[in-house]
Amino acid sequence: MRVQETAVKANVQTVQPMGAAVKAVLTGGAMMLALVASVVAGRAETVITAHGISTFGELIYPADFKHLDYVNPDAPKGGEISEWTSGGFDSMNPYSIKGRAGALSSAAYESILEGTADEIGATYCLLCSTLEYPEDRSWVIFNLRDDVRFSDGTPMTAADVIFSYEVFLAKGLTDFRTIFATKVEKVEVLDPLRVKFSFKPGIPTRDLPQDVGGLPILSKAQYEAEGLDLEESSLTPFLGTGVYLLDKMRTGESLTYKRNPDYWGNEHPLRVGTNNFDVVRIEYYGDYDAAFEGFKGGSYTFRNEASSIKWATGYDFPAVSSGQIVKAELPSGDKSSGQSFIFNLRHEKFQDPRVREAIGLMFNFEWSDATLFYGIYDRITSYWGNSFMEAKGVPSDAEAAILKPLVEEGLLSASILTDEAVMPPVSGARQLDRGNLRKASDLMEEAGWIVGNDGMRRNARGEVFRLEFLNDSASFDRIINPFVENLRTLGIDAVLTRVDDAQMQDRERPPNYDFDFITDQSRTNYFSGTELKQYYGSETADVSVFNKMGLKSPAVDRVIDVVLAADTLASLTTATKALDRVLRAERFGVFQWFKGTHTVAYYDMYEHPETLPPYALGELSFWWYNAEKAAALKAAGVLK
């Protein structure tokens, strides 16, 4: 379940989280989980005691592992790494919709369990020594470590865990509370270092131990003593147990974090070889071009390049030619993102799926990739694209068994049982594909939007079909403007409205939802669980910072329940593919693009393991600083 920060959005440059927030993911050849089974006296209940938990029972790392396979355990500590992000910030509270949270403002907080970058569906004890749970996962006990300390040196106890759960339940993001309140029956302190979560009967429990184990842990004492409020914007950070602390703040301009010299977990197997930089600095820029010039001038030192034109044409300056700046494409095994143009389905004009399909036909990805992107992107085709969970072709018998009852109830068209999974339209070499224009025109007319003498489409009430692209990134203008031109040819009064990031957040978040069409990340996990209700569930459509499109689909809701109830990898894969088909059939968004590699540039003073894990770039986690190379760059006047 997602309770992560609602930090300031960088449309084309996102700062990755540090080691405490590394993604949980899967690889093959897992070692059998070392666990101890005991029979609780008086009950025929087998209780598993383990150092971690996997969605389907296996973990790569044994109980006595010394460090993660993909880190350098001897990596030196020291130095600084700096990156950029867009816009500004006015808060250090990453868990409120009020204000704009600073980048990496969640870095101070850890959770009881943490995932790795080489597994899917597995998490390990970080703040606990072991966890206990029955085979049906109807409850979980976390046996907390006795050496965990908040950054002020005070010990973390079960009281802090329960307090954190209660404050997130009472004051956390509304969609999180809406979902989480339906899952947990009660929370108990068994002793100062043992806490038990019991789950409500009659609900799927597959992911619940990991869900509650993923809660950020805050200090009860600091929160109460300083009168803090999780719902309010504040520049006072909450106290956490994490590696990095806020050191310097220039409001709206930069944030500097320093590694806590007294961090409790330096020798923890999940931390060995990670968090190697003494200082992590984030510089804010108002636009993409200014940020690129800042990098060239040495204002920050690491850049995850998201602009295709910059990657293709911008890196011809002397520091790159001399090798003082490394330009590299590094492998990525991650699935494609769900980055899309999304509709605000709360607006009547977008209710008809024929309208949404017609608008999607007017985005010419093939022309954009050849003309604007220099051929470095692939089209996103699925919410689980580039993974084994992606729906392809016609449904299998097992998928059809899930979908058929929804067809019989009139919740889905019968075509979903016989047609191939919905794919984005393919366009020709010219900006405006005439064939797609004809298809889109027919769809709009079928939906009752007829072209008038002025070339604009109107409904039976005489209302012009107007579509506003809301955008806060200058670098997206060159992509959106051709889309706008195509839509105007179709007879839609399409316009591009540029706003700053503060206005963007205000308009796209609850309670306003004041937009027609925006770029958003429609996220999924490899092994998706409760977070699906936050992004796509009807119950969160009017309160969620994640379900921005306002999707209320009974069919989607029903298939989400099937995904949550899946108890084997095979059944989860089948249910996920069925859900992928239904989401794509809804056409609530227009898929954008993704890269199969990390395109990065950095001053030649950073090093990384020879083999990177499949699911994380990890520059803020397991890369390290070479002091000799840094000294040479400074001596050459390349760095300030």
Is 9's pLDDT higher than 50?
no
Averaged pLDDT, 423-428: 96
How far apart are the C-alpha atoms of 468 and 477, rounded to whole Å? 13
Based on its alpha-carbon atoms, the radius of gyration of the chain, rounded to whole angstroms, reads: 25
Q: Which residues contact 498 (CB under 8 A, 6 or more apart)?
A: 471, 472, 474, 477
φ, ψ (nearest 5 deg) of residue 418: -120, -25
Residue-wise DSSP of 101-153:
BPTTTTTT--BSEEE-SS-SSEEEESSEEEEEEETT-SEEEEEE-SS-B-TTS
> So where are the chain's domains?
19-69+107-225, 339-594
Q: What is the pLDDT of residue 572?
A: 97
Averaged pLDDT, 160-179: 87
Averaged pLDDT, 21-26: 32
C-alpha torsion sign, points 427, 429, 431, 437:
negative
Instruction: Compute CA distances 305 → 26, 71, 289, whole Å.
Output: 26, 24, 12
Q: What is the pLDDT of residue 443?
A: 98
Q: What is the pLDDT of residue 446?
A: 98
Is 562's pLDDT higher than 90?
yes
Q: What is the pLDDT of residue 173?
A: 78
Q: What is the pLDDT of residue 94?
A: 93
Instruction: Compute CA distances 45 → 143, 192, 195, 452, whole Å.
Output: 19, 25, 19, 71
- Per-residue model confidence as pLDDT tens digits over 28-57: 333 333 333 344 444 457 999 999 999 997
Is 23's pLDDT higher than 80?
no
Is 12's pLDDT higher than 80?
no
Q: What is the pLDDT of residue 4?
A: 37
Q: What is the pLDDT of residue 44?
A: 56
Averaged pLDDT, 631-636: 94
pLDDT band at residue 605 using 50, 70 and 90 as cut-offs: very high
Query: The domain 339-594 belongs to what CATH superfamily?
Result: Dipeptide-binding Protein; Domain 3 (3.10.105.10)
Residue 164 near residue 215 (C-beta atoms within 8 A):
yes
- Per-residue model confidence as pLDDT tens digits over 258-309: 999 999 999 999 999 999 999 999 999 988 999 999 999 999 999 999 899 9
181 or 272, greater pLDDT: 272
pLDDT band at residue 426 using 50, 70 and 90 as cut-offs: very high
How far apart are the C-alpha atoms of 160 and 144, rounded to whole Å? 11
Q: Which residues contact 557 (CB under 8 A, 6 or more apart)?
A: 537, 538
How many degrees, rounded to 5, is the angle at CA 133 between CA 154 and CA 68? 65
Q: What is the pLDDT of residue 251?
A: 86
Q: Given 3.50.50.60, 3.40.190.10, 2.40.100.10, 3.30.70.100, which CATH number is that of 19-69+107-225?
A: 3.40.190.10
Q: What is the pLDDT of residue 26?
A: 28
Share of residues in the chain with pLDDT > 70 (%)? 93
Averaged pLDDT, 394-411: 98
Is 530's pLDDT higher than 90?
no
Instruction: Compute CA distances 622 → 41, 67, 625, whole Å.
Output: 45, 12, 10
Is 478's pLDDT higher than 60?
yes
**Buried-state track 452-470, b at ≥16 Cβ within 10 A, e below 16:** eeeebbbeeeeeebebbbb
96 or 445, greater pLDDT: 445
Q: At 181, which amino acid appears? A: A
How far apart are the C-alpha atoms of 443 and 355, rounded to whole Å? 7
522 or 449, greater pLDDT: 449
Q: What is the pLDDT of residue 22?
A: 33
Closest CA relative to residue 519, chosen from 328, 373, 638, 344 = 344
Closest CA relative to residue 589, chosen from 548, 537, 531 = 548
Averaged pLDDT, 105-111: 96
The shares of helix, strand and coil residues in the chain, as percent rounded to the nearest 5, are: 30, 20, 50
pTM comes to 0.88
Instruction: Compute CA distances 44 → 131, 135, 312, 336, whole Å.
Output: 19, 11, 64, 44
The DSSP symbol for 314 reads I
Quote the tokens at residue 164: 């954190």
Q: What is the pLDDT of residue 179?
A: 75
Is 475's pLDDT higher than 90?
no
Give the mean pLDDT of the chain.
91
